[in-house]
Structure 1
Amino acid sequence: MRVGLIVNPIAGMGGRVALKGTDGVVEEAIKRGAKPIAPDLARLFLHELANYSESHEIEFLTGPDGLGEDVLKEFGFPYEVIRHRDFGYREILGVRIPNTTDEDTKELARRMLGRVTLMVFAGGDGTARDVFSVVGDRAPILGIPTGVKMFSGVFAASPEDAARLVVEFLRGNARLVERDVMDLDEDAFRHDEVRPRHYGRALTPYAELLLQGAKEPTKTDEVEDVDAIVEALAEELEDGIYFLGAGSTVKRLKDRLGIEGTLLGVDVVEIRDGKARLLVKDAAESDLLRFVDRNPKIIVTVIGGLNFLFGRGNQQFSAEVLRRIPKENIIVIAAPSKLKDGIIHVYTGDREVDEKLRGYMRVRVSPWMDRMVRVV
């Protein structure tokens, strides 16, 4: 089987530094301390794929240098490089990145079309949109999740799961389904405005538990239930440091506590004598690390449709942060509809931290009831 592999070398760099995306702000991300992560996650995909005997039947078609070639040359897979153009590199504060744009992704997809059985890309929603704009329904696509948001339904739950999906597809055990391709206006997203757009439905390999869903909002008839959960939780919070996560559910708690927190970012809050004080608004990973020695608690919700707790839209909660916070210090609140599949996902890129979070976790689903939910 011939597989296309396209790596977006800057995807995901804005996550840990609280930029909520990387489009148009890569220099700012680097100035805040960001490093490229997409190549490393593509390596995880290839490393997992190499563990299967069926991988010997795969030949890759890929982009030059940082667009795929650099990671593939580290493995034993046969591959052909599409050298569609020459591009240089630029160095920003010691970080070297290629001078590529979304047009490179589109051109590679265009040249792969008709030559590959499956097109795999490492990126986020923007990369998914670029690939889909060329491919449409003429070839199946699959995303290795390396971006910040990844609200589209074409992504595997993790790079390793993307490899397993490719193998199941090769074995004939993964059927093709239509999944939503979505993206948000990143500039609006950085200003706490959610402006989603649906770009169409792509063909994607599907096997149970390996492919994530697409983003879904809280149902209108559950808003009052969420408000009741928030009201009860606000009354129960003890004095201390809290990391309050992203999303409309936790934003209701921020409003209830009387702080001007972000809708789509992470805020650091101190509660003392029953009163809340905002310490850091829209915190980055580095901000959270400043407070991890003060025994903070995390309050987060589940992203509806995606069923993710950590690893989608809140990369500020990095492996380094979560390694230093006890599992029992994580408070999860969610509307029951967000738990309809009975499982929630975590992916930090660190197997030890992910294993620590897996198992079962309490989720507050009403003012008076918790539900034990399986974390995978």
Structure 2
Amino acid sequence: MTSTDERRFDVLRAIVTDYVNTQEPIGSKALVERHQLGVSSATVRNDMAVLEAEGYIAQPHTSSGRVPTDKGYRLFVDRISEIKPLSQAERRAILSVLDSSVDLDDVLRRSVKLLAELTRHVAVIQYPVLSTATVRHLEVVALTSARLLLVVITDSGRVEQRMVALSRDITDDEVVLLRDAFAGALHGKRLTEASAAVAEVANSAPRDIADLVIAVAAVLVETLVEREEDRLVLGGTSNLARAASDFSADLGGMDAVLEALEEQVVVLKLLARTSRTDRVTVQIGRETRNDNLRGASVVSTAYGASGTVLGSVGVLGPTRMDYPNTIASVAAVAKYVGEVLGER
């Protein structure tokens, strides 16, 4: 990049920084006064004219200053060379909040609440994907003489509970047989392999308990198949109200963003574009490929433990976003969520 290109990027960076802070179009005079750009006002005006011609900034109204475009934000984000480290106090706060959580649900709820507070945007986290998990324990409990409770616990801490209605009464010895057969077959199996293991138990079941085995197997298979529902936790949706003016009517307004958030499939697709724990993905405006989110940006990354990606976490907010701090917060929360789950 030439020295002229570097200087123009410095102008763009100053426009992005000031616009994020003020939400007001930025003029050349304000840039010279607020930033040590080392050039004259005339040079800054010329650089702004070039940036506008190339589509990095735009003039929302006649005689107004300039604002960054999606293309301008993209160049700014792409030039962030490294993730800004959080302060010691911020790191301690994250750890103290997550370490005191009691189970997986609590970890995820605390994570989105914390991330929403750190970024002032909507935070979202995906439940650990079942297909990447392994079965740590299966428990079979007789609730009544003809009703069982199945409890499947994965290595990610996810707990699935299902009821099984039987066609006849079951004895204590039969409960033990069912528990031993299925727990032995499933222990340590990845969820992608577990259905086949369940089917094998059903196929080889002794005739006298075949009806019970088939009933349990049917519920287990349904439990082990990945589902779309209840896989996301959202927090901080009230933060959208603070940014309502950023979602202009020509982009669908805030109602369009809320509509997109209500569709979990939409959010899951956005998070699915993040597949590595060491990389933060930023989708700006139309890059989200969703008409309702043309005025929004999504910053996300994957979280995991022991080298395994368990799910994704991120935030959604207006394109006028403090990207360095948001990227740092998302990366930090993802890192600590992975560590907390890896220790359980």
TM-score, length of structure 1 as denominator length: 0.22
The structure with the largest strand share of the pair is: 1
Structure of higher CA gyration radius: 2
Higher RCO (CA < 8 A, seq sep 6+): 2
